[in-house]
């Protein structure tokens, strides 16, 4: 009975509400929306693993050829959510509350890889041959295409909902980490224990 009371104390309604909002945002709503006029392609968060590996999936969708990457990233997302809810219940240490940051960290890593992992700067070429000039032109065109493609991306309702919920969960987890102090026993140890 004491274990049940401890579980309900460590697993509060606000954390469960935040986690359920993250689940709805990740698996039920659009996270990133690519729009070209009347053509709209939406991507959910569990498909972000494919989008990070192949950004063109944001514009053409995730096909069946990406089944392995899709499955692995979906399992990673589910494991992240499980860690956020189960760590404070399963582990008595107050540092287990920091697992509530896992969904936010996963979202930030995906956003950083997706938006920051583009083509970047073109390598500097030292020769002035025809091949090098063609490479400069190709890199310039690819940079402009990447800039144009990024301008057609927007954050969907699922991205906003899950970002707000994961920030609230991270704040709640940090607060519980700071509030929950380790229990200190002031009872002396028996003499025969030495």
pLDDT in tens, the chain (194 residues): 455 445 556 667 888 899 999 999 999 999 989 887 788 888 899 999 888 888 878 888 887 888 899 999 999 999 999 998 888 888 877 788 888 899 999 999 998 888 776 444 445 555 567 777 777 787 777 666 666 666 778 889 999 999 999 999 999 888 877 776 555 455 655 666 55
What Rg do the C-alpha atoms of the chain give, in angstroms? 23
Name the domain count of the chain: 1
Is 84 a member of any domain? yes
Sign of the CA dihedral 84, 89, 94, 95?
Answer: negative
Alpha-carbon gap, residue 71 to 26, rounded angstroms? 14
| Helix, strand, coil abundance in the chain, percent, nearest 5 | 70, 5, 25
Is 52 a member of any domain? yes
Is 192 a member of any domain? no
CB 153 within 8 A of CB 32: yes
Is 133 a member of any domain? yes
Which domain range does residue 105 map to? 2-180
CB 64 within 8 A of CB 50: no
Alpha-carbon gap, residue 163 to 171, rounded angstroms? 12
Is 191 a member of any domain? no
Entry pTM: 0.73
Is 193 a member of any domain? no
Is 8 a member of any domain? yes
CB 57 within 8 A of CB 51: yes
Is 49 a member of any domain? yes
């Amino acid at each position: 009975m004491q274990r049940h009371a401890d579980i309900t104390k460590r697993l509060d309604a606000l954390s469960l509400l935040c986690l359920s909002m993250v689940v709805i945002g990740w698996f039920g709503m659009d996270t990133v929306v690519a729009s070209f006029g009347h053509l709209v392609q939406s991507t959910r968060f569990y498909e972000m693993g494919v989008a990070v590996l192949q950004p063109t999936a944001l514009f053409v969708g995730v096909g069946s050829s990406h089944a392995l990457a899709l499955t692995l990233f979906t399992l990673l997302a589910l494991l992240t959510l499980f860690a956020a809810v189960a760590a404070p219940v399963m582990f008595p240490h107050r540092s287990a509350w920091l697992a509530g940051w896992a969904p936010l960290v996963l979202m930030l890593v995906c956003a950083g890889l997706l938006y920051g992992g583009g083509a970047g700067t073109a390598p500097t070429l030292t020769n002035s041959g025809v091949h090098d000039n063609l490479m400069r032109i190709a890199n310039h065109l690819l940079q402009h295409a990447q800039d144009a493609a990024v301008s057609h991306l927007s954050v969907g309702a699922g991205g906003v909902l899950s970002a707000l919920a994961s920030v609230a969960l991270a704040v709640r987890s940090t607060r519980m980490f700071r509030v929950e102090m380790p229990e200190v026993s002031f009872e002396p140890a028996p003499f025969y224990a030495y």
